[in-house]
Amino acid sequence: MARLVLVDTADELPGLLPLHAWSALMSSDLVLVGAPDHPFLPHLDLAELRHEVVGDPEESKALSRADLLSGVTPVDKARAEHIVDRARDEGEVVYLLGAGDQEAFTRALGMEAARASVEVEVVYFAARPAGTRLLALVQVMQRLRAPDGCPWDREQDHRTLARYAVEEVYELLEAIDGGRPEDIAEELGDVLLQVVFHAQIGADEGAFTVDDVAGGIVDKLVRRHPHVFSDTTVAGADEVVANWETLKATEKPDRTGVFDGVAPAQPALAYTEQLQRRAAKVGFEWSTDAEAVDRIRAELDEFLAAGDDAEREHELGDVLMSVVSLARRHGIDTEMALRAAARRFRRRFEAMVPEVSEDLGDRSREEWLARWDAAKAAETAETAET
């Protein structure tokens, strides 16, 4: 009995198949693929396997009622008949499924094989390893930066792209604030694009590749997690952090200063928090919340006592530094906390001033406060209901 073996493939992993799928290929009389650009063709050549490309048929086939009900097209039917005929001619044929083979075409193959009494076996790719679509992204970026690719992408360098990386991170923060998984996934994709883009620029310049980038962080993660990848034992998360810092210091012996490696270009809140964390590691830290709060009060008093704008600006900076110190003691991310507060402010203000065209200049302080309290109460009630 003639036999047709359908082998599932992953375009992102050309040449990679489970052992039983390769065994089917090696034992077949003929391997068929659906398109001349099927990514598996070079590997069939290397394996010296006899193969043919199933081109588009010269004429389509009439459809039966069953074909129509199953969504099969005349072209699908003609291609399916050709593949089944080749199986009957050869005895056993493997057809490598590809990205262009839709479910309706696969159904057409099964129906034609049944009509011709050809045995069908399907060999699935099984679970694709996580990250296969990352390979597709790398390939897309290679194409965009190719000599015949996109003129804009080809003109970019690390410096011209720098601002986009910052913008995408802030858009990711906004998506995280919104809490919608689909928005977070989309913005993570935009951030990932920046990484792959810079890596391709590095490859084009002969400086580094995307594998260097990925390999470097893989090696670092394995090296700094000996409690996972080796036989080190830890008591909890605090010890994990301590080990991380010890290993980091060993890897970067040139960093001798307390603040070496802290990037001044990052946002002020994050920069301040990181400086304070470094200082706290060597003992410069408040022992209680009360001390931190007292410092905030003292800095506020100095702000109120300031004699001019320059002095007030100086003292306000100290107030903010002290507030960051209190937040850090409780593990509060000041950037996220302030963004959440800004989001609440905007939402409440828009609720108490629904019409932009409303004349607001003659509103008294008492009316403003009453509107604010009403908007805040309404939000609190709405939150309690949900």
Dump the DSSP string for 183-244: HHHHHHHHHHHHHHHHHHHHHHTTS--HHHHHHHHHHHHHHT-HHHHSS---SSHHHHHHHH
Asked whether 66 and 112 are in contact (CB, 8 A), the reply is no
The CATH architecture annotation of domain 3-123 reads: 3-Layer(aba) Sandwich (3.40)
The whole-number pLDDT of residue 68 equals 61
Q: Taking the model in full, what pTM does it have?
A: 0.67
Decide if 3-123 and 132-251 have a common fold: no
Closest residue by Cα to residue 172 from 154, 163, 157, 185: 185
The whole-number pLDDT of residue 191 equals 97
Query: What is the distance between the alpha carbons of residues 127 and 124, in angstroms, rounded to a whole number?
Result: 9
- Side chain identity, residue 353: V
Closest residue by Cα to residue 119 from 92, 95, 98, 79: 92
The whole-number pLDDT of residue 58 equals 63
Query: What is the distance between the alpha carbons of residues 321 and 302, in angstroms, rounded to a whole number?
Result: 14
Q: Residue 226 has which token pair?
A: 């000996």
The whole-number pLDDT of residue 241 equals 83
The whole-number pLDDT of residue 359 equals 64
**Span 268-332: which CATH code?**
1.10.287.1080
Q: Residue 307 has which token pair?
A: 């004699």
Domain ranges of the chain: 3-123, 132-251, 268-332, 344-385
Asked whether 76 and 54 are in contact (CB, 8 A), the reply is no
The whole-number pLDDT of residue 237 equals 87
The whole-number pLDDT of residue 117 equals 92
* pLDDT, mean of each 10-residue run, the chain (386 residues): 88 81 88 90 92 76 62 78 91 87 82 90 79 90 96 96 92 90 97 97 97 95 90 85 81 80 87 91 90 95 95 95 94 89 89 65 81 86 72
Q: Residue 12 has which token pair?
A: 């992102």
Contacts of 261 (CB under 8 A, 6+ apart): 252, 255
Burial tier of 40 (Cβ tally within 10 Å: 0-12, 13-18, 19+): buried
Q: Candidates 1.10.287.1080, 1.10.10.10, 2.60.40.10, 1.10.3210.10; correct CATH number of 132-251?
A: 1.10.287.1080
The whole-number pLDDT of residue 217 equals 95
Closest residue by Cα to residue 80 from 126, 114, 48: 114
The whole-number pLDDT of residue 242 equals 82
